[in-house]
């Protein structure tokens, strides 16, 4: 079958919306006809990454209806509503192998084992999670990345508990989900850090109790002042060098002793290659610095996030602040790159 998708031919180049050739699914694959897809900042990094082979298809969070099912896929059937994600349902050790999907463009193999910037997706069934048919088919797509990444870092990586203090650098889609999760877990204070008052005001709607505009002063000093020494957990939902380096000194210090630990810095946003951190923050204060990469259990957590939306606890509708069509994908990417999207943008098919 043929389907339309956004394709990148060369690193740094614009996306071309054109037809792909999709074969019949292998035994472990499914075809999902998409209703919607999120537009994630990670794809901007991929579009500039000249080490990735081309032609390249992109996107990794989408909602659709299952159209075809390979013979070995048992958790899905045709007609099911489902979320396409980049985190496998089956727990793995290390990084999962990325196998070619079998899709071609002008008879050339297409790269990108997960993609959602297209009308039909051919993908391993392990990256497709069934959802109730009464779940929204538009805003639910962001559960496949933005929600699982931000909320998962707070819930499953840091394991925030009631009364823990939290700071979140960057309140785009992922950062807002981290803030909302911290609010659900009754953290206090919850400090939002960004460069614009508009985004900080939106963060208040998701549970932020304090706002720090980093364009107007040193956010590390502001956080230390608000908390009298630093937060229990600081999250970087941006991935810039400066924020990579700010989250650890934003946490509280510890000291000598078996249980005298300092705070934890958690890097969520995809970083560059090099950062510089004062090593004494680790040893003399027993602070921790770790990464969080899609820290979620898709089968269990997706149902929970959608239930929380229905209960009014997790406002997915407020997270989606812009909507585009597939033909406008370059406009969506440009807006995201320019920092014009307050929450999350989605594509509707």
45/76 same-domain check: yes
Whether pLDDT at 269 is above 90: no
39/155 same-domain check: no
Please report, for the domain that includes residue 164, its CATH number.
3.40.50.720
332/211 same-domain check: no
Question: For 186, what's the count of Cα atoms within 13 Å in the CB-facing half-sphere?
Answer: 3
What does the pLDDT average to over 216-232?
Answer: 98
Whether pLDDT at 270 is above 90: no
First to last CA, the chain: 17
pLDDT digit string, tens, across residues 170-223: 999 999 999 999 999 999 999 999 999 999 999 999 999 999 999 999 999 999
pLDDT digit string, tens, across residues 235-262: 999 989 999 999 999 999 999 999 999 9
263/331 same-domain check: no
* Predicted local confidence at residue 91, as pLDDT: 82
Using an 8 Å Cβ cutoff, are 192 and 212 in contact? Answer: yes
Alpha-carbon distance of 210 to 192, in angstroms, equals 6
248/338 same-domain check: no
Q: Phi-psi bin for 148: left (phi > 0), alpha (psi -120 to 50), beta? A: alpha
35/78 same-domain check: yes
Q: How many domains does the chain have?
A: 2
Predicted model pTM: 0.95
Query: Which of 103-112, 129-138, 169-178, 265-274 bottoms out in mean pLDDT, i.e. has the lowest?
Result: 265-274
216/342 same-domain check: no
254/336 same-domain check: no
| Exposed e or buried b per residue across 260-283, where buried means at least 16 C-beta atoms within 10 angstroms of its C-beta | ebbbbbbbbbebeeeeebeeebee
User: In sequence order, which residues have a C-beta less than 8 Å from that of residue 328 and are 6 or more positions away?
Assistant: none
Please report, for the domain that includes residue 81, its CATH number.
3.90.180.10
Whether pLDDT at 57 is above 80: yes
* Residue 300: inside a domain: no
Domain of residue 241 covers: 147-291
User: In sequence order, which residues have a C-beta less than 8 Å from that of residue 28 and are 6 or more positions away?
Assistant: 70, 72, 73, 124, 125, 126
Using an 8 Å Cβ cutoff, are 225 and 218 in contact? Answer: no
Name the β-bridge partners of 126.
none
Whether pLDDT at 272 is above 80: no
* Predicted local confidence at residue 164, as pLDDT: 98
Percent of the chain with pLDDT over 70: 100
Q: Quote the crossing angle between the two packed helices 329-337 and 41-48, to the nearest 10°.
A: 100
pLDDT digit string, tens, across residues 80-121: 999 999 999 988 888 777 778 999 999 999 998 789 999 999
**HEC states along 317-347?**
HHHEEEEEEHHHHHHHHHHHHCCCCCCEEEE
């Amino acid at each position: 079958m043929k389907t339309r998708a956004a394709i990148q031919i060369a690193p740094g180049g614009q996306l071309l919306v054109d037809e792909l050739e999709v074969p019949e699914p292998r035994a472990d694959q499914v075809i999902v006809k998409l209703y919607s897809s999120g537009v994630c900042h990670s794809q901007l990094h991929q579009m500039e990454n000249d080490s990735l082979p081309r032609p390249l298809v992109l996107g990794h969070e989408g909602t659709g209806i299952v159209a075809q099912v390979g013979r070995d896929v048992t958790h899905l059937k045709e007609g099911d509503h489902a979320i396409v994600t980049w985190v496998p349902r089956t727990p793995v050790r290390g990084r999962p192998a990325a196998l070619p999907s079998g899709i071609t463009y002008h008879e050339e193999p297409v790269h990108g084992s997960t993609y959602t910037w297209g009308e039909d997706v051919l993908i391993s069934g392990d990256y497709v999670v069934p959802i109730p048919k009464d779940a929204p088919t538009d805003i639910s797509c962001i559960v496949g990345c933005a929600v699982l990444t931000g909320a998962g870092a707070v819930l499953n990586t840091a394991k925030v508990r009631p009364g823990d203090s939290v700071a979140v650098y960057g309140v785009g889609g992922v950062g807002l989900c981290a803030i909302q999760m911290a609010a659900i877990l009754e953290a206090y204070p919850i400090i939002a850090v960004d460069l614009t008052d508009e985004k900080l005001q939106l963060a208040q709607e998701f549970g932020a109790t304090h706002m720090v505009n980093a364009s107007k002063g040193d956010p590390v000093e502001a956080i230390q002042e608000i908390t009298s020494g630093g937060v229990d957990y600081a999250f970087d939902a941006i991935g810039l060098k400066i924020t990579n380096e700010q989250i650890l000194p934003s946490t509280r210090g510890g000291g000598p002793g078996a249980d005298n630990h300092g705070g934890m810095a958690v890097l969520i946003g995809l970083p560059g290659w090099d950062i510089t951190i004062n090593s004494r923050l680790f040893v003399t204060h027993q602070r921790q610095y770790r990464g969080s990469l899609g820290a979620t259990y898709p089968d269990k957590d997706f149902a929970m996030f959608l239930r929380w939306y229905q209960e009014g606890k997790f406002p997915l509708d407020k997270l989606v602040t812009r909507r585009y069509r597939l033909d406008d994908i370059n406009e969506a990417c440009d807006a995201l790159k320019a920092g014009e999207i307050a929450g999350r943008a989605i594509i509707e098919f």
